[in-house]
Structure 1
């Protein structure tokens, strides 16, 4: 009977993790550029005496949350400093530590050092310097960035390239819509429009790819699975109580 407790405990833990992931997806329904996560489950087989602390018992385990990098809808904002990607590529940013992080776009700004950067202050890896006196920026679909001045003259000041990661499992989310490559993973830098990297869309932002109807169905199924495992624990407790109450 102890085995039933341990097996149900693994189910409760796995379903609790799945509930957390689904809740986080729903919470980020309106977060620009957010990519939903999906939980995978796998079977566990006990090796030796089963205890929750020392040896993994039979039952189910969560193999972790995997990001789903499907394209979110592009929402037009009209802002010249808003930028989205229609495709699978990423914009490479330079973190304060010097490491590279990947970004799906959003709000841009001109940093204190005069370089084009994301709203979080991280400069674009291309280090595009915006000239003093520039009144506006024009970003073409292929990534070319031009500065527009008062007299309506236009000068090209740089280009935003895109980074392609063929294996989405090689990406690790670090928050704020940013991702890092896992150790040993490789990425390819391409011009926008090349080899499926996608095109840049100025004046738009990418919406979350969360579908609330799908998440609600997943939430209900996970809750039912959690309740089923809880009932196994309850049934096991009742049987143990009967056994302990038997008299010789």
Structure 2
């Protein structure tokens, strides 16, 4: 719009200049003729001046026509240029508006596509995250289960080891107990055997003592019998010799009782291992 106003003002100025030039040419020609006719100067000079004025007038007139043509052409050219520029400006504005609208549309489309892609990526990322979380949870659960299983296996192994240790300890105790029992039994058996040996020895000693006692008593009895026989045959001292026979019988009885007591005492000593 500003360019159009400038073009119109320029055309008006050029048109005024052409009109002024034509008027100046006519005025110059007329003034030359009037001055020559009214002056009454020398005809040569007058003609020269006249011709010069006429030439100047024609030249000015021609210049006015040229200026007018130039003004018209300039006006047309300017108007056309302005129109062309205006058209181009309008077209450019239209194109700019179209491009702006297209750009806005493209921008909106790209924004929508970008938003869609972003939403898709976000959804995919969320899905992947959920998948990874699920996989991670599964792996964690698997590891936990494996760890629990391993822990149970280790606990079972530890328990078995503890049980085995207890069994081994119990077996050792049993072995020690058996050994102790065997030793005690051996000691007891040895003691019993010693008692039996002692009893046997005592019995042998008792038998020997009894035999010796009996032998002594029998010897005493045998020694007393010849004297009794002699006294009986001679009839002398019969009463005197009776007492020794009773004494011998009493001695034999006492010897036998002493032998029985000694045997019992010896048997008791042998049983308890005392002398």
Output the TM-score relative to the length of structure 1: 0.27
Task: Tell me which protein shows more helix as a share of its residues.
Answer: 2
Task: Kindly indicate whether structure 1 or structure 2 has the higher relative contact order, using CA contacts under 8 Å at least 6 residues apart.
Answer: 1
TM-score by length of 2: 0.24
Structure possessing the higher radius of gyration over alpha carbons: 2
